[in-house]
Amino acid sequence: MKRQTLKYSALAAAIGLTPFASAIGEEATSFSEILTKGDTTFSFRYRYEYVDDNSSAKDADASTLKSRVTWSSGAYKGFSGLVEIDDVSHIGGENYATPSNGKAGEYPIVADPDGTDINQVYLKYKGDSFTGIAGRQRILHAGQRFVGGVGWRQNEQTYDSFRLQLPLGEVSVDYSYIWDVNRIFGPDTNGGQPRRYESDSHAIYASYSPADGHTIGLYAYMLDFDNAAANSSETYGIEYKGSIGPISIAAAAATQSDYKDNPVDYDAEYYMAELGYKVKGVSLAAGYEQLGSDDGNFAFRTPLATLHKFQGWADKFLVTPADGIEDVYFKVAGNVGPTKLAMFYHDFSADEGSSDYGTEFDAVATYPINKNISAQLKYAKYDAEDLSTDTDKLWFSINMKF
């Protein structure tokens, strides 16, 4: 099976291939039709990633392919199911480090290890008053700042969870009990980066729209990880997103403290504010984000976030520095013909003390070849000051879905 997958992967790489959401099977009229009216979809993502990090002796050159097959059952009296399997394979030489290939220190990390795994498998019930999902599943809360899927990496983060979604008029409530977090490091990682967090966690997100174009979110995350106690925390927060004419506004605030077996007693705060303006098809934005520190001893953490979306694509702050971090950023985005373009500039500094963490420039261009195939070129340049090392990253991706 593995050999056949690799052959299919090589073909997909030649064609050029992105993960995409699975289709929903047809409505079944009998229990047996749950299977016969199911739907199968395939998606692929080939990616080349180059990393020049001054902390490593060699540069990384990673050529990888993600192949995904998703089967969705038909729905019968509100019940349905889904099974999704991913395979990640390297193409050519393995000139990069993963947590499991023994090349850390020689090459920079590219967190896309080889492996075949069940990405999702769950039973779902959708009724008029609630939706319930039990099993391994994707959970994406709001902008994924606290709970997300890390979809940028070839191996997605999913959750072994029971999830309940309740529409209550203008308020919607999303509750999950999570007993395992299946992380991005694949099925064969070592203890340095555990493949999953053994969890006894609760995640709650409630949203309310007081008017068109305005949304308020409230969240509570009680995270308890047996094998990663330093990430055990309880977080409570509020966020707002809205627009007034061409001006967009986003803001958030949260407080976090240690929870359960975390060995550190700490309290830290989170703040974010962003203003945007759109004119003649060009979007401009300026923002500020702070992950605070408790007197330089321990800082605000978001271990379940889609971290690549925040604080620069070079991924230099996947774990918040002990002195915390302040990120002042600017964004420009728009289209040139069918090509989508975006650029970011970040200025990083410590929340505690006067350390200058450096700056980063990011740029991306995405071109839709047709409705099934797209290509993307992406670049990140981090210039270090008082923390970390200078890093350049370049990605080229070809995505396909059918």
Quote the pLDDT of residue 193.
77
Question: Region 183-210: what's the mean pLDDT?
Answer: 87
CB hemisphere CA count around 206 (13 angstroms) = 11
Q: How confident is the model at residue 189 (pLDDT cuts 50, 70, 90)?
A: low
The domains found in the chain, sorted by start residue, are 1-116 (no CATH), 127-278 (2.40.160.10), 311-402 (no CATH)
Quote the pLDDT of residue 169.
87
Record the tokens describing residue 161, joined without a space: 């969870």
- The size of the chain, in residues, is 402
Quote the pLDDT of residue 100.
82
- Per the CB < 8 A criterion, the answer to whether 98 and 109 are in contact is yes
pLDDT digits (tens, 9 = 90+) for 31-65: 777 887 889 999 999 999 999 999 999 999 999 99
Question: Region 299-306: what's the mean pLDDT?
Answer: 98
Record the tokens describing residue 236, joined without a space: 């409570």
Integer Cα distance of 187 and 119 in angstroms: 11
β-sheet bridge partners, residue 343: 332, 363
Integer Cα distance of 306 and 179 in angstroms: 19
Quote the pLDDT of residue 161.
98
Quote the pLDDT of residue 191.
52
Question: Region 265-289: what's the mean pLDDT?
Answer: 97
pLDDT over 80 (residue 111)? yes
Integer Cα distance of 389 and 393 in angstroms: 13
Integer Cα distance of 192 and 76 in angstroms: 44
Strands (E), 224-300: 233-244, 247-258, 267-279, 282-291
Quote the pLDDT of residue 379.
98
- Per the CB < 8 A criterion, the answer to whether 16 and 42 are in contact is no
Q: How confident is the model at residue 104 (pLDDT cuts 50, 70, 90)?
A: confident
With b for 16 or more beta-carbon neighbours within 10 A and e for fewer, the 213-235 pattern comes to eebebebbbbbbbeebeebbbbb
Q: Minimal CA–CA distance to 241: which of 277, 207, 266, 216?
A: 216
Quote the pLDDT of residue 358.
98
Dump the DSSP string for 113-136.
Answer: --EEEEEEEEEEEE-SS-EEEEEE
Record the tokens describing residue 296, joined without a space: 């330089």
β-sheet bridge partners, residue 267: 257
Quote the pLDDT of residue 16.
35
Q: How confident is the model at residue 186 (pLDDT cuts 50, 70, 90)?
A: confident
Q: How confident is the model at residue 112 (pLDDT cuts 50, 70, 90)?
A: very high
Question: Region 104-125: what's the mean pLDDT?
Answer: 94
* DSSP SS3 for 111: coil
pLDDT digits (tens, 9 = 90+) for 1-38: 333 443 344 334 333 333 333 345 667 777 777 887 88
β-sheet bridge partners, residue 207: 172, 217
- Average the pLDDT over each of 90-104, 107-121, 181-195, 247-261 and give the range with the smallest value: 181-195
Dump the DSSP string for 160-198.
Answer: EEEEEEEEETTEEEEEEEEEEEE-TT-TT--TTS-SEEE
Quote the pLDDT of residue 21.
37
Strands (E), 259-313: 267-279, 282-291
* DSSP SS3 for 345: strand
Over pLDDT 70: what percentage of the chain? 92
